[in-house]
Structure 1
Amino acid sequence: MSFLDSIDAALAAFAGFMWGTPLLVLLVGGGLYLLIYSRARPYRHLGHSIDLLRGRYDDPDDPGQVPHRQALSTALSGTLGLGNVAGVAIAISTGGPGAIFWMWITALVGVATKFYTATLSVMFRGRDSAGELQGGPMYVIREGLGRKWMPLAVLFAIAGLCGLLPVFQANQAVQLLRESFAVPLGWVGSSDSLLFDGAMGIALALATGAVIAGRIQRIGRFTLGIVTAMVLFYLSLTLIVIVAHWQEVPAAFALIFRDAFSGEAVAGGALGGMIAIGISRGAFSNEAGIGTESLAHGAAKTREPVREGVVAMLGPIIDTLVVCTCTALVILLTGAWHEAEGIEGVTLTANAFSEVFGHAGPLLLLLMVLPLAFSTIVTFWYYGAKCFVFLFGARWQWIFTMVYVAQIVIGAVAALGPINNLVIGMYAVMAVPTMISTLLLAGHVNRAAHTYFTTPQRRTDV
């Protein structure tokens, strides 16, 4: 085995360990604890989040950078995309239809997790080296837990720098574009695509640079338009498939619930394996407790931390309960999942759409995935920049931006190899400081929530 192969194997083992049972227990068990600790109070105020998104409580003089709706769209742009398309297909092909039920469980407890993490991200905002108000797990730890916990804050920032690299999104976006357009049209062959990949990588890097030049304000406006349009477009596509197979919808849901407690469809009939697959794919999809949601929601313009927590609760609902469920129904209703063995995730979903839309199915899917993949690249720059500034100061942020944009081009033309395993593993590391600080500071959120929801002057709809 060569040195590079050894590094790849070590990083693959690292990624597998980090996404193993201990992390899933921390994320789901921690979320369940927060649900019980809050006495499900946040769940009773989901309607209030709609008022907040409509701008009913917006005040341009409030501290922060973007309105509530743009903070939510930025957070969603980091979660929506290939995880909702390929991730669901992987869950079904490896864990069976019952894995979807356990993805739902991560979303239901993730609502509580995001309420707490987003509330804390505003409650314990801190100043960066340039004096600008910032939110995120590293600032929550520094301002909420004190300097003695700084190693935990540094761990999150380092993990964020490594786990939020754009190489995977750039690689997959260019690959989808090449295989769905360039190769079928004869522009490139399957083995001589380096020039095409490089050109697309450069174009993607330039487009990213144009958006991030406007910082979080432009990113917020951009993601609000992209996320809204693409979610509505995707839901329209899936609705057509569901209507075409409406008679089988009850049976599809019955299959999910029945298989969730039998494990018959997973290899070897291992119920525990199927549960682990569903929970891991759900956690990777909605990212509740990872900490990225805090980086986005911490930028919200508000003086009431609980308001941003209420807005953040919609994330797992939209991402997992709505979008992922629609993908699962398409795969199950069309019967594509019966031929899932040996088929990669995104290809399985594309095959399912082809059952209804013919050759246009994969292209329609591509029209949704590419914009969301691009919005994820843009959002990850913002997340990574906040981690970099926390570690090295605002004056050197331009260095991070130059390196980040270069990585987009590299990701478009290079095989991912060890880098992908590093990204996946470090992405999981981010959850450790996030969940520890959230559990330690949960009492602050409960007290703030009690005051907020019982004070008519703060909420005119109480």
Structure 2
Amino acid sequence: MQQLEHWFTAFAAFMWGMPLVLLLVGGGTFLVFYSRCLPYLHFRHSIGILLGRYDDPDETGQIPHFQALTTALSGTLGLGNLAGVAVAITMGGPGAIFWMWVTAIVGVATKFYTCTLAIMFRGRDSRGEWQGGPMYVIREGLSRRWLPLAGLFAVTGMVGTLPVFQANQLVQITRDVFAIPLGWARADAHFGYDLLIGALLAAATLTIILGNIQRIGRVTAALVPGMVLFYLLLTLVILVQHAAQIPGALALIFSDAFTGHAVASGALGTVILMGVRRGAFSNEAGIGTEVMAHGAAKTSEPVREGLVAMLGPVIDTLLVCTCTALVILITDVWQGQATGVTLTAEAFEDALPGAGAYLLTLLVIFLSLSTIITFWYYGAKCFGFLIGAEYQHHYVWIYGVLIVVGSVVSLKTIIGLVDGMYAMMAIPTMTATLLLAPKVNAAARRYFNDYSAGRH
């Protein structure tokens, strides 16, 4: 097992080298200027779309704009916002949060482009149903010589969206907060407990996902807004109590972002790479998973879905991840030995003694479940693209087994595997986006000209 952990960690470190950072952040920055900051000028209109003012139930697609965004957010508003932020701080220092913000700011433009393309180049699967996602964007929008990139995304997407990280961290926090204190598991021997909780989680997940994207859309539309509001309220209470410490925490983030002194021993490259890695895992801008959710939206207007999708990094990283980071930093628990979701739980317990860890655990249960449900949809679409949509229902049983496996494997092994695959997913997604960006600009000019003339 230690050898596997070493291999996966080395694989992730290799994939997340400076070339990939330049592809994601540099490519996103190019899109910011190439669009002339157009997406950033239309947040008000995007909220109007989100609220259903332009919904047409007769248009092509499977779910409304709001459900498309909540489905995408249920994949991003998960443990990347809780455990991922903690991992970023422990492995890259507080400065890594600054680089997470950078990925979110440029990610607004990236998501606008990738998710506009998701509608613009939808394709039919082997059952004749319309589907969206980077593999269909590549197949429908580029020449046949680019088809290997579509296959690469489908393979890496199927592995990158495995439920192992979510299952692992859900089991970890319930074990640390409930099982060990109550004597249900020992700190040095908890395999049986992990296996049991993993099996229960798999059963709950299978009960929900044996439906379809419409059911997933309804579940996420009900869960995600409530989870976000509950979490923001919880963190607001803590931040108000520690308001005097917030300026110091923000100053630490900015100073460490350009020195790396806090944790990375002056290794600025480590701070940047860890921030970008965790930012990409948090908001998925440029990775491509969210493109599959937005590709299912009921709309014939590609730009409209791009405008909805660009709200994701703002909600996910700039708002929720920042709240998590501030709670961890103002409580000073980040300088201890804990990591992952356990560190976040310690921060909440330190701020709200006797209740914080329990409230966070409740939130983690719902966050993990919603993300696992959405990741099944992503993996099934990749599976169906590779072997035929008529066979993709078999993926559900593979997925259930992997939930259990993720519950008992080490956190470092899982981070190495998932991070490495996320990096590989970004290669076809960003390549296709940059190649097809002129088509998005042309569609955006037409759309906003019509909008200004009152034709939308």
Q: TM over 0.5, yes or no? A: yes
Matches within 5 A, 1:160-199: 160-191=157-188, 193-199=190-196
Q: Which residue of 2 aligns with 1:257?
A: 254
Larger deviation: 5-14 or 80-89?
5-14
Question: Structure 1 CA distance, aligned partners of 2:62 and 2:168?
Answer: 31
Of the structure 1 ranges 161-170 and 324-333, higher mean CA displacement relative to structure 2 is found in: 161-170
What is the deviation of 1:256?
A: 2.4
Q: How many residue pairs were aligned?
A: 456
Q: Report which stretch shifted further, 116-125 or 280-289.
A: 280-289
Correspondence for 2:121 among 114, 119, 124:
124
Q: How far apart are residue 414 of structure 1 and its match? A: 4.8
Deviation at 1:167, TM superposition (A): 2.4
Instruction: Evaluate the alpha carbon distance shift between residue 201 and residue 388 of structure 1 in structure 2; reply closer, same or farther with a 3 A threshold.
Output: same
Match runs of 1:93-172 below 5 Å: 93-172=90-169
The alpha carbon displacement at 1:28 in A equals 0.3
Q: Determine which of 367, 371, 387 is the counterpart of 2:366.
A: 371
Partner of 1:354: 349
Separation in 2, partners of 1:130, 1:54: 32
CA deviation string 1:53-108 (max 9, x = no partner):
11000000010000111111111111122211122223223333322222111100
Alignment partner, residue 233 of structure 2: 236
Matching residue of 1:390: 385
Does the aligned pair in 1 maintain the 2:173–2:342 contact within 8 Å? no
Q: Tell me if the contact between 1:208 and 1:378 (Cα under 8 Å) persists in the aligned partners.
A: yes
CA contact 1:453–1:459 (8 Å) conserved in 2: no
1:295 aligns with 2:292: yes
CA distance in 2, matches of 1:7, 1:387: 25
Map 1:190-209 onto structure 2 (within 5 A). Answer: 190-191=187-188, 193-209=190-206
Q: Distance in 2 between matches of 1:256 and 1:419?
A: 27
Distance 1:459 1:13 in 2: 54
CA distance in 2, matches of 1:458, 1:172: 50
Specify the alignment match of 2:9 in structure 1: 12
CA distance in 2 between partners of 1:414 and 1:142 (Å) = 36
Relative to structure 1, is the Cα distance of residues 459 and 173 closer, same or farther in structure 2, using a 3 angstrom cutoff? farther
| Cα displacement (A) at 1:203 | 2.2
Offset of residue 265 of structure 1: 2.0
> 2:375 pairs with 370, 377, 380, which one?
380
Amino acid across the alignment from 2:265: G
Task: Tell me the equivalent position of 1:400.
Answer: 395
1:362 Cα deviation from its structure 2 partner: 1.3
TM-score under structure 1 length normalisation:
0.93
Q: TM-score, normalised by structure 2?
A: 0.95
Question: CA-to-partner distance for each residue in 1:114-161, whole Å, 9 max, x for gaps?
Answer: 000000001000000000000000000000003221111001001112
Aligned to 1:304: 301
Cα distance, 1:454 vs structure 2? 1.1
Q: Quick check: 450-459 or 391-400, which moved more? A: 450-459
* Separation in structure 2 between the aligned mates of residue 35 and residue 141 of structure 1, nearest angstrom: 22
Tell me, which stretches of 5 or more residues in structure 2 are unaligned? Answer: none
Between the aligned partners of 1:345 and 1:422, the Cα distance in structure 2 is: 16
Correspondence for 2:45 among 44, 48, 62: 48
Alignment check: 8 A CA contact 1:354 1:362 kept: yes
1:434 is matched with: 429
User: Tell me, what secondary structure is at the counterpart of 1:148?
Assistant: helix
Q: Which amino acid in 2 is paired with 1:40?
A: C
- Between stretches 197-206 and 67-76, larger displacement belongs to 197-206
Please say which of residues 222-231 and 9-18 is displaced more in the overlay: 9-18
Residue of 54, 60, 65 corresponding to 1:63: 60
Letter in 2 for 1:352: A
Quick one: which of 214, 217, 221 aligns to 1:217?
Answer: 214
Deviations 1:379-413 (A, max 9, x none): 11100110011111122122211211222223334
Moved more, 255-264 or 422-431: 255-264
Contact 1:98 1:274 in 2 (8 A): yes
- Give 3-state SS (helix, strand or coil) of 2:341's partner: helix
One-letter amino acid matched to 2:35: S
Residues 255-291 of structure 1 deviation map (CA, whole Å, 9 limit, x = unaligned):
3223333433243223333222222221221111000
**8 Å contact from structure 1 (residues 183, 189) kept in 2:** yes
Aligned equivalents of 2:113, 2:175: Cα separation in 1: 41
Q: Secondary structure at the match of 2:265?
A: helix
CA separation in 1, counterparts of 2:179 and 2:120?
Answer: 49
Q: Assess, with a 3 A threshold, how the Cα gap between structure 1 residues 311 and 193 changes in structure 2: closer, same or farther.
A: same
The one-letter code matched in structure 1 to 2:282 is S
Kindly provide the amino acid, as one letter, of the partner of residue 401 in structure 1: V
The letter of the residue matching 2:350 is: E
247-256 or 95-104, larger mean C-alpha shift: 247-256
Q: Relative to 1, partners in 2 of residues 1:305 and 1:263: Cα closer, same or farther, differing over 3 Å?
A: same
- The yes-or-no answer on 1:73 pairing with 2:84 is no
Residue type matched to 2:126 in 1? S
SS at match of 1:372: helix
**Secondary structure of 1:97's partner?**
coil
Give the Cα separation in 2 of the matches to 1:415 and 1:335: 25
Report the Cα offset of residue 248 of structure 1: 2.7
Contact 1:452 1:459 in 2 (8 A): no
Q: Is the 8 A contact 2:4 2:413 kept in 1?
A: yes
1:277 to 274, 277, 286: 274
Give distance in 2, aligned partners of 1:206 and 1:268.
Answer: 44
